[in-house]
Amino acid sequence: MAHIRIFVPLSILACLIGGCGPGAGKTVKEGDIVVTQEVLRETAETQWEDSHVDGFTFEIPKGTHLKVLYTPAATVSVFVCRPVEVNGEKDPDMVEAFFVPEPVKNKMGYTSYSFALKKEYLGSKVKKLE
């Protein structure tokens, strides 16, 4: 009986720390690279000098490599990333030019962009490079 009393709380604790259910084990951390397995229609968030945030919708091509910018908290459902390779192109300026429309990029105050992808995509729509 003592084993059951200890096992159940430890199982609950393991789920709280490591995660349980359909999303369990689907994690990324800062610096990881993920690759799209299909075309994704997502919203890009643009960052501006005055702390203004804006966005636009874009189709991320299949095979695009994206770098995870921050380790997401266990409680959030997305991870923030930025493309580092698209259609075989790795030059950062060319990759940015592919994703960010000229009128946006040339606007005064523009600093960068990123995508927030759903963690549920991990293992299906995007795969982490090992």
Q: What confidence tier does 14 reach under pLDDT thresholds 50, 70, 90?
A: very low
Q: Is residue 84 part of a domain?
A: yes
Domain extent at residue 57: 23-128
**Structural domain count of the chain:** 1
Q: Is residue 40 part of a domain?
A: yes
Distances in Å between the alpha carbon of 114 and those of 9, 48, 69, 87, 101?
Answer: 39, 12, 9, 18, 13
Q: Is residue 109 part of a domain?
A: yes
Q: Is residue 3 part of a domain?
A: no
Instruction: Say what the pLDDT of residue 114 is.
Output: 96
Rg (CA), the chain: 18
Q: What confidence tier does 130 reach under pLDDT thresholds 50, 70, 90?
A: confident
Q: Is residue 10 part of a domain?
A: no
Average pLDDT, whole number, for the chain?
85
Do residues 54 and 3 touch, judged by C-beta distance below 8 A?
no
